[in-house]
């Protein structure tokens, strides 16, 4: 058989523009929301028929509301929209070869506010003067190389802590050897944006820090907590206010079993600082001696220290003292769901305190040795994670048994997990820094991440328990 297409008709024609016109358009921001909702003016008469409509539907709706409160129809049923995974798995193991050669451990990890960049700080437990660095990996990049960081920021000595800005993805604050430094990673030339230098206003002792909305909070074992802000032309970090802790100015928690003996110097070495997400004026402080204090930024009491040439009057901010623990407090973290906070130290217990009472609401035995950090989960109100000497353990307060709901074990037993950070954007991820200089990025199973319907209520119940 053969076939043939019809003859193709074609023609030529010429076209030319004779005149042209151009016009621009632009969208305006939507003002509609305020116009759309007509404000209810009490003097205005109700639209016709509204009352009749409400009369007709009121009984119907009330019946449904009452039925709802009694219904058990969907109790325990959870729709499975996302793929639920049961396993905790390691996504990446990030290492910086030169840091590992120098035997540095990971002193701090922080996620950027976008959730895609992990910032790792390397430090040394002995405070020697080894050159160190801060490494950044962008986990959303396709050509992620776990053995080579996307950006390496050189630092003259060991870094004790880093923290990413809560809103601006390019800013990172870091602390080392008494200096506070802010990097702007969007600048390709010299990423160092501002630093405190080493004048009298700087810290001489090792410092730890936190980025508040408006500044950098740094604390030191010399008993000082300083609040730095970036000045208007973005060239210097300026000391905004300073707080000093002296034993005599710390309020007693009223329990006579405390062994608070003034030995040697009366300064209170600050080892942990936390900001409260509920009250912008409150911050929590943990000390080397095991003290846990609630402090106020706006305190007016001057600190009883000899006048230092800092340019700012140091104040004593401690307002309330919680029951002290028996060893240095390494970490404090406030729950994002309730006014509770978790504290972890060398006694192997995580104490959960309410901001309102001195005794802990609950104490959970995590391990027999040091705890380096405790953090609440950003998605499940009842879950917190603790970094211990070996595995990172996740506890779920909904389980009565209080044994870990999950553990992350990685490698040999001598590699301690020194720090951990939950990713607030991608809530399945958690980063764990270890003493061998590697950082593991883990994906959690769904039951550790997805909150149940009554979790906030359960947390409220736990918080309201009066401790015995």
Q: Give the number of other Cβ atoms within 10 Å of residue 171's Cβ.
A: 22
| CB closer to other proteins, 150 vs 460 | 460
CB closer to other proteins, 288 vs 455: 455
CB of 397 to other proteins, least distance (A): 18
Comparing CB distances to other proteins, the nearer of 47 and 306 is 47
Tokens of 94: 């990030």
SS percent in the chain: helix, strand, coil, step 5: 10, 35, 55
Q: How far is the CB of 32 from other proteins (least distance, A)?
A: 8
Comparison of 19 and 81: residue with beta carbon closer to other proteins = 81
Shortest separation between residue 9's beta carbon and other proteins, angstroms: 49
Least distance to other proteins, CB of residue 64, Å: 5
Instruction: Give the nearest distance from C-beta 61 to other proteins in angstroms.
Output: 6
Q: Which of 275, 294, 133 is nearest to 211 (CA)?
A: 275
Judged by CB, which is closer to other proteins: 63, or 365?
A: 63
Q: Which contiguous run of DSSP H or E holds residue 55?
A: helix 50-70
Residues 441 and 461: their CA atoms lie apart, in Å, by: 33
> What residues make contact with other proteins under the rule CB under 8 A?
33-34, 36-38, 40, 46-47, 49-51, 53-58, 60-62, 64-66, 68-69, 71, 74, 78-79, 453-454, 457
Extended beta strands in 112-185, E state: 117-123, 132-138, 151-155, 159-164, 171-176, 179-184
Q: How far is the CB of 401 from other proteins (least distance, A)?
A: 24
* DSSP assignments along 19-46, one per residue: --------PPP--HHHHHS----TTSPP
Residues 118-139 as b/e (b if ≥16 CB within 10 A, e otherwise) read bbbbbbbeeeeebebbbbbbeb
Cβ proximity of 430 and 386 under 8 Å: no
Q: What is the rounded CA–CA span in Å between residue 383 and residue 394?
A: 7
DSSP-assigned beta bridge partners for residue 452: none
Q: Which of 176, 163, 157, 293 is nearest to 215 (CA)?
A: 163
Closest CB to other proteins among residues 359, 447: 447
Minimum distance, C-beta of residue 45 to other proteins, in the bound complex (Å): 10
Of 71 and 326, CB closest to other proteins: 71
Q: Name the 3-class secondary structure at 87.
A: coil
- Shortest Cβ distance from residue 464 to other proteins (Å)? 15
**Beta carbon nearer to other proteins, 24 or 74:** 74
Structure tokens at 88: 């905790």
Q: Which residues pair with 406 in a beta bridge?
A: 394
Q: Which residues pair with 343 in a beta bridge?
A: 332, 351
Three-state secondary structure call for residue 64: helix
CA angle 220, 222, 226 (to 5 degrees): 45
**CB closer to other proteins, 82 vs 313:** 82
Q: Evaluate whether 216 touches 273 at the Cβ level (below 8 Å).
A: no
Based on CB atoms, which residue is closest to other proteins, 62 or 198?
62
- Cβ at position 33, least distance to other proteins in Å: 5
Shortest Å distance, C-beta 455 to other proteins: 10
């Amino acid at each position: 058989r053969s076939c043939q297409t019809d003859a193709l008709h074609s023609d030529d024609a010429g076209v030319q523009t004779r005149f042209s016109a151009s016009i621009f358009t632009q969208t305006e921001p939507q003002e509609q929301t305020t116009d759309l909702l007509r404000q209810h003016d009490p003097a205005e008469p109700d639209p016709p028929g509204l009352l009749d409509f409400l009369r007709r539907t009121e009984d119907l709706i009330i019946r449904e509301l009452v039925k709802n409160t009694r219904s058990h129809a969907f109790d325990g049923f959870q729709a499975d929209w996302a793929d639920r995974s049961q396993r905790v798995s390691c996504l990446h193991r990030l290492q910086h070869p030169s840091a590992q050669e120098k035997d540095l451990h990971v002193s701090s990890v922080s996620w950027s506010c976008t959730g895609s960049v992990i910032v790792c700080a390397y430090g040394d437990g002995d405070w020697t003067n080894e050159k160190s660095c801060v490494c950044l990996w962008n986990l959303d990049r396709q050509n992620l190389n776990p053995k080579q960081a996307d950006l390496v920021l050189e630092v003259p000595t060991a870094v004790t802590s880093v923290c990413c800005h809560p809103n601006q993805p390019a800013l990172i604050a870091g602390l080392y050897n008494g200096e506070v430094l802010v990097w702007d990673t969007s600048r390709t030339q010299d990423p160092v944006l501002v630093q405190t230098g080493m004048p009298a206003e700087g810290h001489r002792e090792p410092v730890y820090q936190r980025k508040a909305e408006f500044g950098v909070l740094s604390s030191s074992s010399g008993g000082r907590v300083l609040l730095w802000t970036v000045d208007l032309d973005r060239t210097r970090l300026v000391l905004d206010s300073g707080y000093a802790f002296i034993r005599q100015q710390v309020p007693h928690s009223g329990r006579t079993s405390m062994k608070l003996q003034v030995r040697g110097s009366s300064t209170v070495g600050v080892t942990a600082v936390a900001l409260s997400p509920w009250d912008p004026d409150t911050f929590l402080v943990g000390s080397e001696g095991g003290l846990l204090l609630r402090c106020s930024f706006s305190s007016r009491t001057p600190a009883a220290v000899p006048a230092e040439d800092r340019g700012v009057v140091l104040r004593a901010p401690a307002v309330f003292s919680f029951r002290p623990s028996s060893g240095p407090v390494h970490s404090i973290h406030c729950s994002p769901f309730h006014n509770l906070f978790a504290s972890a130290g060398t006694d192997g217990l995580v104490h959960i305190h309410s901001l309102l009472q001195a005794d802990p609401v609950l104490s959970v035995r995590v391990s027999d040795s040091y705890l380096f950090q405790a953090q609440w989960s950003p998605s499940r109100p009842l879950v917190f994670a603790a970094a211990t000497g070996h595995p990172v353990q996740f506890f779920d307060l909904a389980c009565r048994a209080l044994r870990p709901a999950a553990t992350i074990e990685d490698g040999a037993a001598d590699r301690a997990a020194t720090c951990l950070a939950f990713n607030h954007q991608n809530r399945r991820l958690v980063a764990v820094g270890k003493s061998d200089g590697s950082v593991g990025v883990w994906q959690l199973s769904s039951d550790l991440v997805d909150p149940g319907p009554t979790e906030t209520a359960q947390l409220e119940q736990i918080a309201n328990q009066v401790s015995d």
